[in-house]
Amino acid sequence: MIQLFNQYEMVYAEMPFEADKSQVIYFDSGTSHELNLFVRLNLRELKAMFFRWKLEFCYMPAMFRDEAELQEKILYRIPWLQQVDYDYIERLKAVQAELIEDLTQAKISDAEVVFRENQDKVLIKIDISNPKLYREQFQHIARTYGQKVSRDLYAQAADDPDIINLFRVLLEKKPKGVVRELIEKELAKEEVLSRVIIKKNCNIVLPEYNRTIKLHPIEKTLFFLYLRHPEGIAFKDLIDYKAEICHIYGHLSNQSDPIKIAAAVDRLFELDSNAVNEHRSRLKSAFEREFDSALANRYYITGKKGETMNITLPRELVDWQIQF
C-alpha cells in the first residue's frame, strides 16, 4: 500500500485560470530542487505516462517551450491565421511569464499537482522525502485520475475508430485550460467563419481555414442534405426526404442501382436504429479533427434530441459548384 499523497479540500481562489478536466498541471514553486529537476529531466516520459491515461501533463515553465506544438494548438483554435507569426508566440510567452509570477505570488507551497475533478480544483502534494518514489507517485496520479476521466469522457467512444481518433486529436491539438485561456485572451478576439466550397468533384473545401474535410459518402450525404435545408429537419422526418437522400447518395457513391442505393440509406429511417446518430457523430468528428468545436459546431448538424436538427452556418457562406 502506497501512502504518498495528502489531498486538500482547497480551491485556488487566486488561480487565474481553469484547468481542463483532462489536464494535470505541475507547478514548479522552486522550493523542491530534486523534484523539479526530476520533472524537467523526465518531462517527455511524464507526458507519455499521462497520455496513456488520456491526460495531458502540463509543466508550467515548458508549456510554451515547444513552439511547433504551440503553433499547432493556435492554428487548431484560430484556423484562419493559416500560419503563426513570431509576434503571436512572443505575446503568449509574455502572458505566460505574468501567469507564472501570479502563481508564485499565490504562495503555492512546495511541489504540487493541480487537476480538476467534478468541476473543482483539487490539490495533490507530492511527497518529496524520497526521490526514488517520484516516478511511482506520478504513475499513481496518472492511473487513479486517468481512470476517472476515461469513464467520464471516453465511455461514448466504444469501438468506433473515428471517435477514438477524435479523442486522440483533441488531446494532442486542442488547447485546454491555461493555454486556451491565453489564446482566447490574446488572439481569438474576432472569430472568422470560413466559406464552404462544394467542388465539382464533391470535395468540401474551407478556403479561409485552408482545410479540406474528408467524409464517407453517407456522412457527406447528410451534410449536403442539411446544407440544402437551412430550415432544418428532425431525424424522425428524414423518411420524408428519402428520394432526395437517395439522389445525393447515388451521386456521391457512384452507385446507379436504385435497390442498392435504397439499401444503403434505409437504416437512416429506422426509428429503433442509432445509425443516424452514429453518422452525425462521425460528421462532427470530421470537423473537430480539423479545428476547435467553438467554430466547428457551425458546420455540423446540431440540435436537441427529438427536435429539428440543422447546420447553423449562414448559407451565404456556402458555394455550390455542383448541382444535384
Distance CA 19, CA 171 (A): 14
Domain that residue 280 falls in: 196-320
Place of cell 516520459: 45
Q: Are residues 182 and 262 in the same domain?
A: no
The answer to whether 218 and 249 are in contact (CB under 8 A) is yes
Instruction: Indicate whether 205 and 116 sit together in one domain.
Output: no
Is 287 domain-assigned? yes
Give the per-residue pLDDT at 282. Answer: 92
Residue-level pLDDT at 44: 87
- Residue 191 falls inside a structural domain: no
Q: Which of 86, 124, 87 is nearest to 6 (CA)?
A: 124
**In terms of domains, do 213 and 173 share one?**
no
**Is 73 contained in some domain?**
yes
- The residue from 158, 186, 214 where one domain ends is 186
Overall domain count for the chain:
2
Residue 270 pLDDT: 77
Q: What is the pLDDT of residue 301?
A: 97
Average pLDDT per block of 10 residues along the chain, 324 residues long = 29 46 68 82 89 79 70 84 74 67 50 47 70 87 70 46 52 60 65 94 96 95 97 94 93 86 85 83 93 93 94 97 86
- Same domain? For 175 and 221 the reply is no
Same-domain check for residues 214 and 117: no
Q: Which CATH number belongs to the domain containing residue 243 in this structure? A: 1.10.10
Cα distances (angstroms) measured from residue 54 to each of 25, 62, 150, 175, 292: 14, 20, 7, 15, 18
Inside any domain, residue 74: yes
* 255 and 280, same domain (yes or no): yes
For residue 222 the three cell numbers come to: 447528410
Q: Does 171 lie in the same domain as 44?
A: yes
- Is the domain of 139 the same as that of 283? no
Q: Is residue 125 part of a domain?
A: yes
pLDDT on residue 302: 96
Say how many C-beta atoms besides its own lie within 10 A of residue 107's C-beta.
8
125 and 203 together in one domain: no
Note whether 300 and 166 are same-domain residues: no
Q: What is the DSSP letter of 131?
A: G
The residues near 31 (Cβ < 8 Å, ≥ 6 apart) are 109, 110, 111
Domain finish residue from 186, 206, 227: 186
